[in-house]
Amino acid sequence: MSETPPDEIKLNDLMFKALDHAVFSIADTGDPLIPFSLTEDASGQTTLTRYVTDRIEKGVEEGKKSIKVVKEKVG
């Protein structure tokens, strides 16, 4: 049986953090989920960014733009 690569474990951890945030954000109020991104830098620092706008669709677009910028910085 092969061992799970460390990068895959880190990605899974980050995905579960995002899922936890999403579930807890709507669990109590039932309000729509505010679009957000969760990033982690090389040192392991995790950053949650919420894209609060007057329309959810605008927040999604802002999030996509922000993630594109981060991806360009990383390479």
| In a domain? residue 32 | yes
| In a domain? residue 1 | no
| In a domain? residue 52 | yes
How many domains in the chain? 1
User: What is the Cα–Cα distance from 73 to 69, expressed in whole angstroms?
Assistant: 6
Band (4; pLDDT cuts 50, 70, 90): confident
| In a domain? residue 20 | yes
pLDDT in tens, 7-44: 899 999 999 999 999 999 998 788 899 999 999 888 88
* pTM over 0.85, yes/no: no
Domain hosting residue 55, numbered range: 6-74
For 63, which DSSP code? H
| In a domain? residue 59 | yes
The dihedral of CA 63, 64, 67, 73: what is its sign? negative
| In a domain? residue 31 | yes
